[in-house]
């Protein structure tokens, strides 16, 4: 048996079996080391680094031990170089975002100007310095103008003997348009991603010394409409073949909306988020049509051999009015039913508590299905096993309130109960259909961009302006749903407009990087910051 020694350093105690350390060092060249063996080796290396390189000691045996251990540690690192390190996702603390969240940040490695690893500690303790693995980066933020402008003064050379004029060429990548693709992308993002009206952008840019009128901004953005139109059309085709679609409406105003062919009053923006496998697609349509009518038009592009689409929305009839039973499987939002009881919980605490607890159990079961990575059939089986008894008991209680005249139907509690009873079949589709969701929350969050536009800009001036806004908001929201940098995507589509028009399916937010990599013969690089 090898001797176990307790070594103390830096207020920490380590129990090290020296015989075991020897066996681990010998095994490095023979076989992969286990996790425990790697941990032991790294611990020994840390201890020896702190204790065995002390000046003025000059012990050849200790130096040899340290050298062997260093080689073994390097071999361990090389052993795991081909395998991705299993790291727990770092959580931001104290309001700070981890490094992974700064996709546009630059990294700069700084070395000490006067010291290096292996030097004696300046304090005189007799120990040598080594690199600490726990150093944290210093974050330095620099402000910049979102749109920059450069004036190029080009020499013009003329001949006294003829009329020829020779003008100095513009730098590579500059022109022929006055507005670079990056500038157009910034206009689009600030207007349709952040909801910043163009007159506010104009004011901000004027403050920063780059005056660009709001009308000019819209012209620049609208001029690129045809560039992005093939992408929008392809998003519609892809959304039509989705498994699930979340649908909702919100009101909108178009000042110059023509009513020559319709007597409807009011205009709307329909929001649709379609999911297929791991992809999510956002679509927005502004006009006189309701969501059911817009969904009908989208489904005209659906492949005929696919099963019926699962559609989730609130219980308004206009969400389904244009859709046949063989086109969609209709679901209603559980959150809307729950909200009716939340609003009156102070007046009817016991009754509302019973309903809210039952719905809470169902959501907890659904969360477990997601956390466990269950596929739709497995999720359905789980809900049938655990959620169905809960919902059956809730349905029994709802029926008893009116049958036994415990609740006045026209009271606030009665109205909440009637909503649940009237829409029960659609509210419980998730108990019968694999993949059916519980609520419509995802599209309600998606419509926040439209609501932000309505609050800040109040209206679209023309139908053309509405079409431009729908297209860009659809693209930006789709990028965000699929964790794609919208600035880079918008810029790359402009720079490869001809290729996008020829084959838009290769230039969607989830495919464009692979396409770029194939064109460049390597990994696609992001657009450099402006």
Q: How far apart are CA 172 and CA 175, in angstroms?
A: 8
**pLDDT range class, residue 356, cuts 50, 70, 90:** very high
Give SS3 for 121: coil
Q: Which two tokens stand for residue 376?
A: 């739709």
Cα separations in angstroms, 333 against 246, 268, 358, 382, 428: 10, 20, 15, 20, 9
Position 204 pLDDT exceeds 50: yes
Question: What's the CA gap between 420 and 107, in Å, rounded?
Answer: 55
Cβ atoms 243, 286 nearer than 8 A: no
SS (H, E, C) 346-404: CCCHHHHHHHHHHHHHHHHHHHHHHHCCCCHHHHHHHHHHHHHHHHHHHHHHHHHHHHC
pTM > 0.85: no
410-455 per-position pLDDT tens digit: 999 999 999 999 999 999 999 999 999 999 999 989 898 888 888 8
- Cis preceding-peptide flag for 176 (omega within 30 of 0): yes
pLDDT digits (tens, 9 = 90+) for 40-92: 777 777 776 666 545 444 555 555 555 655 555 555 445 444 444 444 444 44
- Return the pLDDT at 2: 47
Query: What does the alpha-carbon distance between residue 407 and residue 352 come to, in Å, rounded to a whole number?
Result: 12
Q: Per residue in 127-152, pLDDT tens?
A: 888 887 766 788 878 787 888 888 98
Lowest-confidence range among 92-101, 241-250, 456-465?
92-101
Over 50: is that where the pLDDT of 32 sits? yes
Work out the average pLDDT over 201-216. 92
pLDDT recorded at residue 70: 59
The 10s digit of each residue's pLDDT in 312-337 is: 988 787 777 677 767 889 999 999 99
Q: What is the total residue count of the chain?
A: 530
């Amino acid at each position: 048996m090898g001797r176990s020694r307790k070594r103390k350093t830096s207020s920490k105690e380590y129990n090290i079996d020296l015989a075991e350390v020897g066996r681990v060092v010998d095994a490095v060249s023979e076989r992969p080391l286990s996790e425990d063996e790697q941990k032991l080796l790294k611990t020994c290396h840390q201890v020896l680094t702190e204790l065995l390189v002390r000046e003025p000691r000059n012990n050849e045996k200790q130096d040899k031990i340290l050298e062997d251990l260093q080689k073994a540690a390097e071999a361990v690192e090389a052993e795991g170089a081909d395998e991705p390190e299993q790291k727990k996702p770092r959580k931001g603390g104290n309001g700070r975002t981890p490094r992974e969240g700064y996709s546009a940040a630059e990294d700069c490695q700084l070395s000490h100007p006067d010291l290096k690893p292996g030097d004696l500690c300046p304090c005189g303790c007799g120990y040598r310095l080594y690199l600490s693995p726990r150093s944290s980066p210093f974050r330095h933020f620099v402000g910049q103008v979102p749109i920059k402008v450069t004036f190029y003064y080009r020499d013009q050379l003329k001949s006294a003997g003829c009329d020829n004029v020779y003008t100095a060429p513009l730098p590579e990548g500059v022109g022929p348009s006055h507005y670079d693709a990056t500038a157009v992308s910034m206009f689009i993002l600030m207007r349709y991603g952040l909801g910043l009206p163009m007159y506010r952008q104009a004011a901000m840019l004027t403050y920063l010394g780059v005056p660009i009128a709001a009308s000019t901004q819209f012209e620049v953005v609208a001029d690129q409409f045809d560039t992005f139109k093939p992408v929008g059309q392809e998003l519609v085709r892809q959304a039509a073949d989705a498994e699930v679609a979340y649908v909702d409406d919100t009101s909108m105003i178009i000042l110059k909306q023509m009513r020559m062919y319709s007597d409807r009053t009011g205009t709307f923006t329909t929001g649709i988020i379609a999911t297929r496998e791991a992809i999510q697609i956002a679509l927005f349509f502004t006009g006189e049509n309701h969501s059911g009518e817009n969904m009908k038009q989208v489904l005209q592009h659906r492949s005929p051999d696919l099963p019926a689409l699962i559609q989730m929305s609130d219980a308004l009839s206009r969400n389904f009015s244009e859709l046949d039973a063989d086109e969609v499987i209709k679901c209603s939002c559980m959150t809307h039913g729950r909200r009716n009881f939340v609003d009156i919980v102070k007046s009817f605490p016991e009754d509302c508590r019973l309903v809210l607890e039952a719905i809470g159990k169902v959501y907890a079961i659904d969360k477990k299905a997601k956390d466990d990575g269950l596929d739709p059939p497995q999720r359905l089986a789980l809900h049938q096993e655990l959620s169905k008894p809960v919902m059956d008991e809730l349905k029994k209680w709802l029926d008893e309130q009116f049958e036994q005249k415990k609740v006045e139907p026209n009271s606030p509690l009665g109205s909440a109960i009637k909503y649940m009873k009237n829409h029960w079949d659609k509210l419980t589709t998730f108990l019968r259909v694999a993949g059916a969701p519980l609520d419509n929350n995802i599209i309600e969050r998606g419509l926040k961009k439209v609501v932000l536009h309505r609050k800040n800009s109040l209206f679209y001036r023309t139908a053309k302006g509405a079409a431009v806004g729908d297209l860009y908001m659809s693209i930006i929201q789709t990028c965000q749903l699929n964790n794609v940098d919208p600035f880079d995507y918008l810029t790359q589509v402009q720079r490869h407009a001809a290729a996008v028009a020829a084959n838009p399916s290769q230039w969607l937010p989830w495919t464009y990087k692979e396409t770029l990599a194939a064109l460049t013969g390597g990994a696609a690089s992001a657009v450099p910051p402006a």
